[in-house]
Amino acid sequence: MANTNTANADYIFQLGFGYWKSCILFTAVEFDIFTIIGKGKVTARGISKSIHANERATEMILNALVSLKLLTRQKNHYKNSPVSNLHLIKGKPLYLGDAVHHAHNIMDNWTMLRETIETGKAVSLKDLPEEVDPHDARDFITAMHNIASVKADELCSIIDLKGARRLLDLAGGPGTYAIAFAKANPQLHAVVFDLEHVTKLTQEFIKASSREERVSVQAGNCLEDSFGMNEYDAILVSNILHIYNPANNVKILRKCRDALREGGRVIIHEFVLDETKTRPQFAALFSLNMLIGTQEGASYSESEYRKWLVDVGFKQIRKIDLQSGSALFIGKK
């Protein structure tokens, strides 16, 4: 019984103090410690000088990062672990530091969870200015690029677009998926549809990829503007439906169907809940994140996605689970 009680208490402590680990990671990324260490073995003294910080405090956070398996230590020298070397050195293809920075940015929203649960409304949105802050927009879009970069190869390997000529990447943000599909399919032209202030940033990512000839942008609002009529062979709807309520999701999917050619496919990419809406864990937690950060968003279940697709006329609907924890729904017009 004692061992069981200890294990139960440890689980509660792990949950209660879990934010310690997040804050250590946030701070290390803000100081760009992993990039500094990536240049060679360094000591706490050397790092403290590089980041203009207290030496004793720097050694403490470095030791904490070792305990989290993000660094290794040999005598007084520190090295990046394999995972940090892959994902936390700025400039590397699979860098996730901007996504970590985004998680840091939304932490304050989570401190308002109690009030959000009491009111049922996103308290964090009530005092936001009407105009989007350009710095905030860039932070968010760069974070989405980080996340999509890790998943892009898996999506390209699963979604066959060999016969497709035109792809619409709906609310595609940085255009990471559109660019990846264009690279994998030389015959394909991809259009990234998003809000005007976003598409200005999208163009920067497209230019950096040297795919300007086959990836373009279209500014618009997915609830208010048309996506076209019978224009596309495939439409990617990635991580957008969780922002809206069911009625608006049906509206978006109906517009997708209108924009597809006969035989064209819609491809939904989302975090999907089971029918109890309690699993997978990340999708259940993400649903709360949508409650906190959007006007009407949530995670949805497989049956809900299937119903919406059927209601607007899609057929041959299939679900594909991805290794990254998300899932695809593919429907044919």
- pLDDT confidence of residue 133: 83
Q: Does a structural domain hold residue 247?
A: yes
- Reading the block at residue 33, the tokens are 């410690």
175 and 320 assigned to the same domain? yes
189 burial (CB, 10 Å; 0-12 / 13-18 / 19+) is: middle
- pLDDT confidence of residue 126: 76
Average pLDDT, the chain: 96
14 and 45 assigned to the same domain? yes
Instruction: Encode pLDDT of 94-115 as tens digits.
Output: 999 999 999 999 999 999 999 9
118 and 77 assigned to the same domain? no
Count of structural domains, the chain: 2
**Residue at which a domain ends, from 44, 59, 92:** 92
For residues 113 and 220, what is the distance between their CA atoms, to the nearest angstrom? 32
77 and 113 assigned to the same domain? no
Note whether 264 and 233 are within 8 A (CB).
Answer: yes
For residues 229 and 218, what is the distance between their CA atoms, to the nearest angstrom? 15
pLDDT higher than 80, residue 131: no
Closest to 182 measured CA to CA, from 193, 173, 169, 195: 169
Instruction: Encode pLDDT of 212-258 as tens digits.
Output: 999 999 999 999 999 999 999 999 999 999 999 999 999 999 999 99
54 and 163 assigned to the same domain? no
76 and 114 assigned to the same domain? no
76 and 129 assigned to the same domain? no
Instruction: Encode pLDDT of 48-93 as tens digits.
Output: 999 999 999 999 999 999 999 999 999 999 999 999 999 999 999 9
Instruction: Encode pLDDT of 9-18 as tens digits.
Output: 999 999 999 9
Note whether 175 and 205 are within 8 A (CB).
Answer: yes
82 and 181 assigned to the same domain? no
For residue 29, give its domain range: 2-92
